[in-house]
Structure 1
């Protein structure tokens, strides 16, 4: 499959998205280059059924280079949080959805034993082997309606390191027979 321009329905979606972005947050609209990049990425995701820069480059016959595609994703000042909000609003309006229930869904993703550059990685119990592995916990906020389920938000969960350290120390002191009044008090939970 070859791709040299965004699909027409994707282009109209991006135009609607840009108009809604301008209405909700003036000045947050996508630039012409950002809109073209987003259109190319969405079309490639549809055609390739994957999010892979190398596949995108091959589908565009080299017009979109891997370095340029990933650079825009990492460095461009695209208002990602507003894009998600506006996209959900557009979907709800288009399909006339007026009611639903919010639900959380979390999943642990094992990464590897040695990770240094992955965001919010922490030591998790690996259910398959019974050992430990570094991993991420991804939490999705879903809007569940009678017709569709739409993700409306997400974040990465990581246990508070200070609270974890206090718990470990508290168990050690409790085991050695130190009274509760002599042990350190529980720290406040990190709100991030």
Structure 2
């Protein structure tokens, strides 16, 4: 997923009733918390943009990486039904001058933790676990071959989020050794 150089307003939030969950998530109410974002004074809630000379702390990067991602409710429901299918890690890539998106942070996804749901936008907060400081993709741009061309894996994924199958990661990691 992509981060950004742009400063963002981090609004306040409050939990609301889980009755606003999509029907696909019936039976999983105890694994999800519905959250409403509140408007607040931007001067007190601004998150600084990416600066390679002063990288985000883990807490700053987590604040960007864990919330508001466009994931289909049916996909989240499938993950909640079968936690073994949840992606194991979340990688946060930051666009660089020149167009490459480089992985700067990695975390375990905590499949047993509570997911966040934002009903107003239909987006999700991913439960992050421990930071992975030795992930083989840190500092790299992720590429794949599509239609005979080498392209970045997030090319044409306008929301900056994509699940990459585990076997692909394992094969790529093996090639790096």
Look at both structures and tell me which one has the larger radius of gyration over its CA atoms. 1
Q: Give the structure with the larger helix fraction.
A: 1
Higher relative contact order structure (alpha carbons within 8 Å, sequence separation ≥ 6): 2
Same fold, TM-score > 0.5, yes or no: no
Tell me the TM-score normalised to structure 2 length: 0.27
Q: Give the structure with the larger strand fraction.
A: 2
Tell me the TM-score normalised to structure 1 length: 0.26
